[in-house]
Amino acid sequence: MLTGEAVGNPLTGHTTYLTSIAYSPDGRYIISGSGDNTIRIWDAETGTTIGNPLEGHTGWVRSVAYSPDGQHIISGSDDNTIQIWDVKTGTTTGKPLEGHTDLVRSVAYSPDGHYIISGSHDKTIRIWDAETGAVVGKPLEGHTFIIYSIAYSPSGQHIISGSGDICDLLP
């Protein structure tokens, strides 16, 4: 039954603002991104941190997401990059995904895990191959203001983006 009551204690450990959180696909873990440039992994049941903070960004971590299989984490940052992290080792897999010319505000995996999308303050959406890190096609343009949030449709056929100007459903 939904009560609206907080469950457990607040998760503490970041040294500044929390900017993004997400559950793992199996619900056992929570990830958080912060203005302290790190990502933390938490045990969802106990609220304890798992391992050391994931470090590698040189700017605020604005968005975090789990891959559908729970094996990877992606993060978008004020350093204009996206990092892909191996959950088991806590290390990045390959080089940062670069191409945005301003901070990366939102990241998401496609439902099948083959693609990553990113929305940026540069007013573009980029699509990336999740395995190779290569850009897929040209940046999607059309917003006249920064992109705050993006998501895939459950079918993986559409991307939705939210901005200060409009909300578009992109084919």
Mind listing the pLDDT tens digit for each residue in 111-167?
Answer: 999 999 999 999 999 999 999 999 999 999 999 999 999 999 999 999 999 998 865
The mean predicted confidence, pLDDT, of the chain is 94
Residue 104 maps to which CATH number?
2.130.10.10
Q: What is the Cα–Cα distance from 37 to 16, expressed in whole angstroms?
A: 9
Whether residue 120 lies inside any domain: the answer is yes
Whether residue 35 lies inside any domain: the answer is yes
Concatenated DSSP letters for 116-160? Answer: EEEEETTS-EEEEETTT--B-SSPB---SS-EEEEEE-TTSS-EE
| Residue where the block lists tokens 């793992």 | 24
pLDDT at 156: 95
Whether residue 9 lies inside any domain: the answer is no
pLDDT at 80: 98
pLDDT at 2: 80
Domains identified in the chain, total number: 1
Asked if 146 contacts 105 with a C-beta cutoff of 8 angstroms, the reply is: yes
